[in-house]
Amino acid sequence: MITVPVELGDRSYDVLVGPGARHRLLEVLPIGVQRAAVVTQEGVGVPVDPGVEHATFLMDEGEEAKSLETVEDLCRGFARWGLTRADVVVAVGGGVVTDTAGFAAAAYHRGVPVVHVATTLLGQVDAAIGGKTGVNLPEGKNLVGAFWQPAAVLCDTEVLSTLPPREYLSGCGEMAKYHFLDPGAEALEDLPLDERVAACVRIKADVVSSDERESGRRALLNYGHTLAHALETAGHYDLRHGEAVAIGLVFAARLAQRTERIDGDRVRYHEHVVRGYGLPTELPAGVDLDQLLALMRRDKKALDGLTFVLDGPGGVEVVHGVPEADVRLALEAM
């Protein structure tokens, strides 16, 4: 079992990575907890035993369940069961579950502890780590949420073998992102799965520890996500989150080349990494470029015109005020 600490002072916690990690749940519950509200989805199918009195609260399936309505349903269920601040919420599932249950835990009684048992690759390398919780609005993804650090995260790599191929592939989109965020990450593809997941967690933990509330460096974790979120918000493209991120990574590289931040070799390396995971590198057929541009203007990083995380001579960084003409040309090249 690999343990990766997330150093945040009195909010620090461990991420346990390895086969069977879910069976360590009782060990990582906050001291003194008597009851656990287990939030999951019927399709997750990963049973857990918190080792204390517990009740299960089911969410609907799909990205549509990541909503304020679901948060209200969960909180009302917690209230009827009598959940208190001395208890814990255990989120078992992928990013939709950990994002939504984490936000419900942050809001209920103004905050009860939460432990994440991440059951998807995407959840293990990204969504369950770092304390960003939230739900979607029709106007955009993750527009309502809170920073609420978990008490612990369990990444059981044993359950990844049960994922549908496309769900696993979606996680690879987030994994591909980490190749560009750390100079040592280029060797990720050579690591066994447990070590690769742990390496991604270490990169994210380092970033989160230095910028918990996304005032600067943490925005780098959104590499590839500006276009990805626009594609997802548009809603009529057959794309999983990681597939959209993969397209967003290649687009960000093309945009960085157009703004003379990187050269063609670096763009080709982005394409090599993305293709190596079996992910798409082009926009879906028939995209509405005007709609995508409008959605990208709403991105929560945007402070001065169009804002993107872009590669460059000093590595990946946030770039404000990117000319719209360059963005459109980079999209057309996709």
From 222, 240, 243, 270, active-site residue: 222
Q: Which of 241, 254, 258, 270 is catalytic?
A: 241
The terminus-to-terminus CA distance of the chain in angstroms comes to 41
How many whole angstroms separate alpha carbon 290 and alpha carbon 124?
34
In the block, tokens 């993969």 appear at 246
Helix (H, G, I), strand (E, B) or coil at 3: strand
Count CB atoms within 10 A of the CB of residue 32. Answer: 8
> Is residue 326 within 8 Å of residue 257, measured between CB atoms?
no
* pLDDT in the model for residue 302: 57
Using 50, 70 and 90 to split pLDDT, how confident is the model at 300? Answer: low
**70: buried, middle or exposed (CB in 10 Å: 19+, 13-18, 0-12)?**
buried
Q: Among 20-29, 232-241, 258-267, which stretch is predicted with the lowest mean pLDDT?
A: 232-241
Tokens standing for residue 203: 């990169």
| CA-closest candidate to residue 17, choices 158, 184, 162, 181 | 158
Pick the CATH number of 223-332 from 3.40.630.30, 3.30.1360.20, 3.30.565.10, 1.20.1090.10: 1.20.1090.10
User: Which of 101-105, 154-158, 289-293, 298-302 shows the lowest per-residue confidence on average (mean pLDDT)?
Assistant: 298-302
Q: Band of the pLDDT at 140, cuts 50, 70, 90?
A: confident
**pTM for the model:** 0.90
> In the chain, which residues fall in CATH 1.20.1090.10?
223-332
Phi, psi of 113 (to 5 degrees): -60, 150
More confident residue, 109 or 286: 109
Catalytic status, residue 204: yes
Whether 214 is catalytic is: yes
Of 66, 196, 204, 254, the catalytic one is: 204
Q: What is the pLDDT of residues 210-261, one digit of tens each?
A: 999 988 899 999 999 999 999 998 878 889 999 999 999 999 999 999 999 9
Mean pLDDT for 9-35 is 96
Q: What is the pLDDT of residue 235?
A: 79
Name the burial class of residue 167, with classes exposed (0-12), middle (13-18) and buried (19+) by CB atoms within 10 angstroms of its CB: middle
* Annotated catalytic residue 272: no
> Residue 321: what pLDDT?
92
Judge whether 225 counts as a catalytic residue. yes
Among 21, 242, 265, 249, CA closest to 119:
21
Catalytic residue among 225, 254, 258, 270: 225
Per-residue pLDDT tens over the stretch 40-92: 999 999 999 999 999 999 999 988 999 999 999 999 999 999 999 999 999 99
pLDDT at 16: 98
The Cα–Cα gap between 71 and 328 comes to 37
Annotated catalytic residue 132: yes
**Comma-separated ranges of CATH 3.40.50.1970 domains in the chain:** 2-170
- Say which of 66, 202, 214, 240 is annotated catalytic: 214
Per-residue pLDDT tens over the stretch 163-196: 999 999 999 999 999 999 987 776 788 899 999 9
What dotted CATH number matches 2-170?
Answer: 3.40.50.1970
Average pLDDT, stretch 110-120?
Answer: 98
Q: Are 38 and 119 in contact (CB under 8 A)?
A: no
